[in-house]
Amino acid sequence: MAERTIRLNAVPSLRRRLLLRLLVPLFALFGISGVCAYWLAVHYSSSIYDHWLYDSVNSLALLVSPGPHGAQADLPVAVEKVFVWDETDPTLFNVTGAQSGVLVSNADLPPVPDDAERYVDGFFYDGVLADGERVRVAALPLSADRAGEPVWVKVAETGTERADLIEHIFLAVLVPQLLLITAAFFAVRRGVVDGLLPLRRLTRRLRAQGPQALQPLADAGVPEEVRPLTQALNGLLGRLNALFDTHRKFIADTAHQLRTPLTAIKLNIEEALAENDIERTHAHLLRLRASADRATRLTTQLLSLARAESGAGLPDRFQKIDLARLAHECGAAWVPRALAKQIELSLHRDDDPVWVRGDPLLLREAVDNLIDNAIQYHPGHGQIRLDVRATPEPRLSVEDDGPGIAPELRSVVFGRFQRGDQTGRGGTGLGLAIVSEIAATHRGRVWLEDTRSGRGIRAVLELPPPRDG
Amino acid sequence: MAFNRLSSTDAGATFRRDHLEDEAVRILVVEDDDTIADAVMHGLRRSGHVTERLADGESADATLHHEHFDAIILDLGLPGVDGLTLLRRMRGRGDNTPVLILSARDTLDVRIRGLDDGADDYIYKPFEMAELEARLRAVARRAIARSGGDVAVGPLRLKPGERRFYLDGTPLELSPREYAVLEVLLLRHGQVISKAQIQNRLSDWNEELTEAAIELYVHRIRRKLSGSIATIRTVRGFGYLLQSDDG
């Protein structure tokens, strides 16, 4: 039983809790009321018996009168028979004078103890007969004025009859009580189970949901108390569905995007294999390399995006970072590639550090992507300028003198697989999505704006300063 | 650092221009993937290097106990003894052969751990042959310079034994500080070197060098290089880049 209790307690159960909370106090109340009823019944029945005993002792006292030598008791045989007769308990009596001794008696009754209970003119007490039987005694003292000498009139009865009555009362109280408890137990249990039925129905409905489509739960039949729960659940299901949709679409897009360079790779390999002319084979190989580059770039960007996403909600990796220094380190690595396209990459900053709070790896990724993007979409022969400043908010901007992006497309290009131009010049359409993801993780912003010269575009990444200023 | 991650045809072209030239060296490739190992070795041989390949850490460890290589290309994800363990063992017994790490995981962790364990440089998969060669060349160049061997970039040749530079075979007259500045640029050829890096390198002189002073030295070196295809390019906001051609 103990084991069972422990096991049951392991998982909190609403049903068990309700049953316990309802049944334990209910049973306690039934128990207390039963005890009270029993006690009252016993009390009143014994006072009735006592009263009868007192009447008997008074009746017997009427037979005592003063005689020539103290007191005398006149008890005709017929009267004694009537007086003594009882179906179960013979009535015992004893009238004893202080001087004359026993006047009339059919038993030796115990003397009146000091702690006898007073009742009107007499006393009640419990005593034991010589043969060991317990008796209830009513005793009435008669004064010398009244009886010629002090006389004790005592009437007693054995406990058998009273015990029988008490037993009857006990049963009369106990049996209905038990029936009541049983009925209450079933009623409460039924009520609790019925009351919790909506929850079980809800569970069944939730369990029936497949992983493919998460349907919101209908409000119909859901009790008022459970409704906030189902509504919260529906909100969660809705967000999950949206997330699943995004991911499904993203995977489909990714597969599609990878398929393009892979197709080009396959075609060019076949062409190259079929070609005898070394010049034309070389041309196919060059296209092959461009396609492989594109696939490579795409996987790299996808990994980068995955990192940016998993970086969300990990502010414990955040630290104080000098954005100017970060721009220097990232930018320096891009210089050779920019120069290869005849693009001059330059950095403009004050000597003071520009402090931000962030994940160094993710911020590096963001800056790299902004520069990469600028180089990628630049036709060549031009300038890309990095600016880092601390006011009004810490920000890094990457400005180019390339073709620019039409104003209506500027918010679109932050979406995944969205490019500002449709030339597909090797770009994956993920770069700005990655930057946007990282900016959001850092509670920063990224946007595109016109340059002062009107040519090209400026991408601005703004980050909140560290909390300590 | 992001350079190697985002490869492009344009970038490949810059690296293709100079090979390791006469710095032919003996290179051990420790890589378990056959396709990658074959391509890498093919490329290195075409540049005139002697290559050997081992496919697992255990045999590489055994071989390195009794054989010397000028440089090692080490894959991190090896069966058995992994790359970092092998590297730690080598450095533990005082083997300072230059090591270029290949890694499929481009996280900062790998880079930091690799460099802490004594790697000279790292490159992430997928990479291009030209990129690999450029990095290997830089790694080997520094190792060769450390051991007193000649290092050349285009027409410019450093003879550390003589503490002297040669341009097209003619000795260059450089002051000790000019020599030090050019040495930094040459040993990190292909990278943009910041003024701070040059300042660090010249801190042996026990006196603070201002940025203006560095600009002056670079200006003087440029004058002495004028007429050659070796030039020092100023990259505004970043520093200087030694170029050995018109790119």
Are B225 and B109 members of one domain? no
Are B116 and B173 members of one domain? no
Are A43 and A155 members of one domain? yes
Task: Please say whether the beta carbons of A343 and A335 come within 8 A.
Answer: no
Separation in Å, CA A269 to CA A124, A261, A430, A454, B7: 123, 12, 27, 44, 20
Look at residues B35, B26, B77, B27 and name the one whose alpha carbon lies nearest to residue B56: B77
CATH number at residue B74: 3.40.50.2300
Split into its structural domains, chain A has a count of 3
CB atoms closer than 10 angstroms to residue A440: 13
Q: Rounded to whole angstroms, how far apart are CA atoms A15 and A21? A: 10
Are A68 and A95 members of one domain? yes
CA of A243 vs chain B CAs: smallest distance (Å): 26
* Amino acid B5: pLDDT: 34
CA of B73 vs chain A CAs: smallest distance (Å): 21
**Tokens 């316990």 correspond to what residue?**
A20
Split into its structural domains, chain B has a count of 2
Are B50 and B138 members of one domain? yes
Q: Which of A293, A361, A368 sits opposite B108 (nearest CB)?
A: A361
Are A430 and A345 members of one domain? yes
Q: Rounded to whole angstroms, how far apart are CA atoms A323 and B148? A: 39
**Residue B3 covered by a domain:** no
* Amino acid A322: pLDDT: 93
Report the amino acid identity of residue A144: A
Are B49 and B93 members of one domain? yes
Q: Is A191 helix (H, G, I), strand (E, B) or coil?
A: helix
Are A398 and A277 members of one domain? no
Q: Which of B2, B108, B192 sits opposite A372 (nearest CB)?
A: B2
Q: Which residues of A touch B (CB under 8 A)?
A: 286, 289-290, 293, 296-297, 300, 303, 307, 328-337, 339-341, 344-349, 360-361, 364, 368, 371-372, 386, 426
CATH number at residue B201: 1.10.10.10
**Residue B188 covered by a domain:** yes
Q: Rounded to whole angstroms, how far apart are CA atoms A366 and A331? A: 12
**Residue A257 covered by a domain:** yes
Q: Rounded to whole angstroms, how far apart are CA atoms A113 and B196? A: 116
Name the residue range of residue A305's domain: 211-311
Q: Rounded to whole angstroms, how far apart are CA atoms B175 and A24? A: 100
Separation in Å, CA A91 to CA A9, A135, A138, A268: 61, 10, 11, 128
Are A339 and A453 members of one domain? yes
**Residue B4 covered by a domain:** no
Confidence of residue B215 (pLDDT cuts 50, 70, 90): very high
**Residue B2 covered by a domain:** no
Are A344 and A456 members of one domain? yes
Instruction: Say whether residue B232 is in contact with chain A using an 8 A CB cutoff.
Output: no
Query: Which of B1, B238, B240, B241 would you mutate first to test chain A, the one with the most A CBs within 10 A?
Result: B238
* B1/A426 Cβ within 8 A: no
Q: Rounded to whole angstroms, how far apart are CA atoms A36 and A40? A: 6
| B124-169 pLDDT tens trace | 877 888 888 888 888 888 877 777 778 888 888 998 888 899 998 8
Which residues on B lie below 8 Å from A334 (Cβ)? 2-3
Task: Please say whether the beta carbons of B99 and B57 come within 8 A.
Answer: no
Chain B: residue nearest A359 by CA?
B108
Answer left, alpha or beta for residue B21, where phi above 0 means left and psi between -120 and 50 means alpha: left
Length of chain B: 247
Looking at chain B from residue 14 to 33, which residues have their Cβ under 8 Å from any Cβ of chain A? 14
Q: Rounded to whole angstroms, how far apart are CA atoms A401 and A345? A: 11
Per-residue pLDDT of chain A (469 residues; tens, 9 = 90+): 444 444 545 567 788 888 888 888 988 988 898 888 888 888 888 888 888 889 989 988 888 888 887 888 888 888 788 777 776 777 888 998 888 888 888 888 888 888 888 888 899 998 888 888 888 899 999 888 888 889 999 999 887 777 788 888 888 888 888 898 889 889 988 988 888 888 888 888 878 776 666 777 777 777 888 888 888 888 888 888 888 887 888 888 788 878 888 888 888 898 888 888 888 899 889 889 888 888 888 888 888 888 777 765 566 678 889 999 999 999 998 998 899 899 999 999 988 899 998 888 889 889 999 999 899 888 889 999 999 998 888 999 999 998 888 888 888 888 777 766 555 455 667 888 889 988 988 889 999 998 888 888 999 999 988 876 4
Task: Please say whether the beta carbons of B73 and B30 come within 8 A.
Answer: yes
DSSP state of A112: P
Confidence of residue B20 (pLDDT cuts 50, 70, 90): very low
Domain's final residue, options B146, B167, B200: B146
Are B37 and B105 members of one domain? yes
Q: Which of A286, A303, A335 sits opposite B192 (nearest CB)?
A: A335
Are B127 and B171 members of one domain? no
What average pLDDT does this structure show over B47-54? 88
* Amino acid A431: pLDDT: 83
**Residue B179 covered by a domain:** yes
Are A162 and A229 members of one domain? no
> How large is the C-alpha radius of gyration of chain B?
19
* Amino acid B141: pLDDT: 80
**Residue A424 covered by a domain:** yes
Q: Which of B2, B10, B108 sits opposite A340 (nearest CB)?
A: B10
Query: Which of B3, B4, B8 would you mutate first to test chain A, the one with the most A CBs within 10 A?
Result: B8
The residues, any chain, with a CB within 8 Å of residue A239's CB and separated by 6 or more, are none
Are B23 and B92 members of one domain? yes
* Amino acid A318: pLDDT: 81
CATH number at residue A339: 3.30.565.10
Q: Rounded to whole angstroms, how far apart are CA atoms B242 and B184? A: 10
| A161-174 pLDDT tens trace | 777 888 888 888 88
What angle (nearest 5°) sits at the alpha carbon of residue B183, between those of residues B182 and B188?
100
DSSP state of A321: E
Separation in Å, CA A281 to CA A286, B12, B46: 9, 19, 20
Q: Rounded to whole angstroms, how far apart are CA atoms B183 and B158? A: 8
CA of B100 vs chain A CAs: smallest distance (Å): 18
Task: Please say whether the beta carbons of A132 and A110 come within 8 A.
Answer: no
The more confidently predicted of residues B7 and A160 is: A160
CA of A6 vs chain B CAs: smallest distance (Å): 47
Look at residues A404, A394, A396 and name the one whose alpha carbon lies nearest to residue A368: A396
pLDDT at B1 over 50: no
| CB-based burial label for A177 (10 Å; 0-12, 13-18, 19+) | middle
* Amino acid A47: pLDDT: 86
Look at residues B79, B85, B76 and name the one whose alpha carbon lies nearest to residue B125: B76
Name the residue range of residue B162's domain: 151-243
Are B186 and B230 members of one domain? yes
Residue B234's beta-bridge partner residues?
Answer: B240
* Amino acid A331: pLDDT: 92
**Residue B82 covered by a domain:** yes
* Amino acid B109: pLDDT: 59
3-state secondary structure chain B: CCCCCCCCHHHHHHHHCCCCCCCCCEEEEECCCHHHHHHHHHHHHHCCCEEEEECCHHHHHHHHHHCCCCEEEEECCCCCCCHHHHHHHHHHCCCCCCEEEEECCCCHHHHHHHHHCCCCEEEECCCCHHHHHHHHHHHHHHHHHHCCCCEEECCEEEECCCCEEEECCEECCCCHHHHHHHHHHHHCCCCCECHHHHHHHHHHHCCCCCHHHHHHHHHHHHHHHCCCCCEEEEECCCEEEEECCCC
Q: Rounded to whole angstroms, how far apart are CA atoms A79 and A92? A: 14
Are B40 and B136 members of one domain? yes
Q: Are strands A92-97 and A151-158 parallel, antiparallel or unpaired?
A: antiparallel
CA of A15 vs chain B CAs: smallest distance (Å): 52
Instruction: Say whether residue B212 is in contact with chain A using an 8 A CB cutoff.
Output: no
**Residue B101 covered by a domain:** yes
Separation in Å, CA B228 to CA A342, B30, B141, B225: 20, 39, 21, 6
Q: Rounded to whole angstroms, how far apart are CA atoms B139 and B70? A: 10
pLDDT at B18 over 60: no
Element (H, E) at A224: none
**Tokens 């540049």 correspond to what residue?**
B47
| B160-202 pLDDT tens trace | 888 899 998 899 999 988 998 999 899 888 889 998 888 887 7
> How large is the C-alpha radius of gyration of chain A?
53
Confidence of residue B11 (pLDDT cuts 50, 70, 90): very low
Are A56 and A74 members of one domain? yes
Q: Which residues of A199-231 are buried (b: 16+ CB within 10 A; e: fewer)?
A: beebeeeeeeeeeeebeebeeeebeeebeeebe
